[in-house]
Amino acid sequence: MEHNVASQKRTLSMLVRNHPGVLSHVAGLFTRRGYNIESISAGVTENPEITRITICVTGDDKMVEQIIKQCQRLVDVLSVTELKYDESITRELAVINVKAPQQNRSEIIQIASVFNGRIADMSEDALMIEVTGNERQIDSIIRLLATYGIEEIARTGLVALQFPSKRARPS
């Protein structure tokens, strides 16, 4: 039996026509309805005429149903799907600039390597780490690096795809 969970993070995947202004229309719908977007990312798909927009929101089942119905009414929206955690792959890119004096540098590099991070740049007293993973992994490396002193972080927001075995098959 499925129950209505109060507020939890939800991931929506939208396929839209690759036209100017479509992302703005989608974001505007969220703004008009008072829904907060936790993260949003968009990029062209294997078909250059279609863009995939991945949106993370916090809300309950009723709110997500409303968002999906309202997005489906937009002219350039082709499909909207909620991606369940156990039925999809999510990834995020983070670039983290962390203080790294000589005495801490090897420890910081070791932490980055545990998360398959890459040193993208370095100076005498700082390292710039590039890391890709799910949201939990990104949050974990940030927590570990915070003790050394994070100077800046840039995160892309989630990109996600549903597992092929869970996708609806065309009839």
Report the alpha-carbon distance of residue 135 to residue 87 in Å, rounded.
15
In the block, residue with structure tokens 């972080």: 153
Residue 62 has, within 13 A of its CA and on its CB side, a CA count of 3
All domains of the chain, ordered by start, with CATH? Answer: 8-83 (3.30.70.260), 89-159 (3.30.70.1150)
Residue 170's pLDDT is 47
Q: For each of the chain's 171 residues, which pLDDT tens digit applies?
A: 444 556 799 999 999 999 999 999 999 999 898 899 999 999 999 999 999 999 999 989 999 999 999 999 999 999 999 999 889 999 999 999 999 999 999 999 999 999 999 999 999 999 999 999 999 999 999 999 999 999 999 999 999 999 887 665 444
SS3 category, 151: strand
Residue 164's pLDDT is 87
Residue 68 has, within 13 A of its CA and on its CB side, a CA count of 16
Per residue in 67-113, pLDDT (tens digit) is 999 999 999 999 999 999 889 999 999 999 999 999 999 999 999 99
Residue of 146, 142, 11 whose CA lies nearest to 82: 11
Residue 167's pLDDT is 62
